[in-house]
Amino acid sequence: MIAAMDISITKAERSKLQELNLDNLPFGRYFSDHMLEADYEDGEWKNVEIKPYQPLLMSPSMAALHYGQAIFEGIKAYKNSNGNAFIFRPLDNYKRFNISAERMQMPAVPEELFMEGMRQLVALDRNWIPSREDHSLYIRPFMFSSDEVIGVRPSETYKFMIILSPSGPYYNMPMRIYVEEKYVRAVPGGVGYVKAAGNYGAAMFATAAAKKLGYDQVLWMDAFEHKYVQEIGTMNVFFIIGDKAITPDLEQGTILDGVTRQSTITLLKEIGLTIEERPLSIEAIIEAYKAGTLHEVFGTGTAATISMIKELRYKDYVMQFDVDSWKTAPTVKKWLADIREGRREDKYNWMQKV
């Protein structure tokens, strides 16, 4: 067990904060003054340090670069109107991190290292939390294999790190989505349910092709029949059909168990909708669109929060939506923002004080 006092802290001599305008930030391009780094060696975690943000020295034979034993999480910190810092549901991300670690044959990270390390790092760089609407401090914990060996086998050494990026919205406009029929993101028995770095790299080819056609992201379909919807880009997806909210279920291990997905399900229930977590086919979506019962389509994710979909294209069939007339997705988005920034009661205890 890593005790809180075992984290050594070296402060940056000078803060880079004044060089940055915290009011108008892209996603994930700037990083705060400090980072956390820990090593896994001889079966235990050691050398836990918070130190100035800096490049890593690595060998060209470092295993993660070759075979992709690398996982990550995305978490956000906010400030309320009193200036107090809070992190949104960090324990849920911690649990998912170790599920990813297990699937990628990597060591578990102890709760105290992840949670207390993150808390101390965010506390040190708390001035980097933006206050502007739709902005936050994006927390990126990650782990990668660090053996200097190119034999294909699980590494014996790993690095766990946390970096912080003050960020604006990931997608700031309603999105146009291309329903992907050829390439797939995940198969049953695969790694679709974990945050393996390679899942994101493997998605880039199809996404680039959709972008050439003028679309922002793809809607992934199941690998066998190309019939059932899975996820949109880096997000889970919800369809409001009639008085129900439908989102793909997690049974097959092809869908990421999103923390924003879980939070959205909770808030949709509070709004009074019936939630169905189940397979949903593209034919059923088109039928509902034609019948006028497909009211809203939106993606959920830590980086993206709630992103409305204004167009879905399947083959040559285009479905368009008047997002300005929607009620549900904007309500969930507002409630989430209000809880995060302290304007709405945090009755589910989602906010952890730093």
Residues of this chain that bind ligand COI (CB under 6 A): 74, 200, 234, 301-304
- Which residues have C-beta within 8 Å of that of residue 349, sequence separation ≥ 6? none
3-state secondary structure 282-302: HHHHHHHHHHCCEEEEEEEEC
Q: What's the CA gap between 308 and 301, in Å, rounded?
A: 12
Reference 127, options 138, 139, 137; nearest CA is: 137
* Shortest distance in whole angstroms from residue 109 CB to ligand COI: 17
| 12 within 8 A of 34, measured Cβ to Cβ | yes
| 63 within 8 A of 146, measured Cβ to Cβ | yes
Output the residue with the shortest Cβ distance to ligand COI.
74
Q: With respect to ligand COI, which residue has the nearer C-beta, 263 or 302?
A: 302
Q: With respect to ligand COI, which residue has the nearer C-beta, 155 or 302?
A: 302
Q: With respect to ligand COI, which residue has the nearer C-beta, 110 or 141?
A: 141
* Shortest distance in whole angstroms from residue 259 CB to ligand COI: 9
* Shortest distance in whole angstroms from residue 302 CB to ligand COI: 4
| 102 within 8 A of 144, measured Cβ to Cβ | no
* Shortest distance in whole angstroms from residue 9 CB to ligand COI: 26
3-state secondary structure 110-140: CHHHHHHHHHHHHHHCHHHCCCCCCCEEEEE
DSSP label at 115? I
H or E stretch including 41? strand 34-41
Q: With respect to ligand COI, which residue has the nearer C-beta, 45 or 128?
A: 128
* Shortest distance in whole angstroms from residue 303 CB to ligand COI: 3
| 104 within 8 A of 129, measured Cβ to Cβ | no
* Shortest distance in whole angstroms from residue 352 CB to ligand COI: 17
* Shortest distance in whole angstroms from residue 286 CB to ligand COI: 28
Q: With respect to ligand COI, which residue has the nearer C-beta, 147 or 180?
A: 180
Residues linked to residue 178 through DSSP beta bridges, in sequence order: 218, 313
Compute the CA torsion angle 108, 112, 114, 117 (nearest 10 deg). -150
Q: With respect to ligand COI, which residue has the nearer C-beta, 289 or 302?
A: 302
- The helices-and-strands tally (H runs, E runs) of the chain is 9, 18
Angle at CA of residue 126, ends 353 and 169, nearest 5°: 90
* Shortest distance in whole angstroms from residue 2 CB to ligand COI: 25
Compute the CA torsion angle 43, 57, 116, 235 (nearest 10 deg). -100
Q: With respect to ligand COI, which residue has the nearer C-beta, 7 or 32?
A: 32
Q: With respect to ligand COI, which residue has the nearer C-beta, 136 or 234?
A: 234
**Token digits of residue 153:** 């086998």
Phi-psi sector, 77: left (phi>0), alpha (psi -120 to 50), beta: beta
**Residue type at 144 in one-letter notation:** F
Q: With respect to ligand COI, which residue has the nearer C-beta, 300 or 314?
A: 300
* Shortest distance in whole angstroms from residue 234 CB to ligand COI: 4
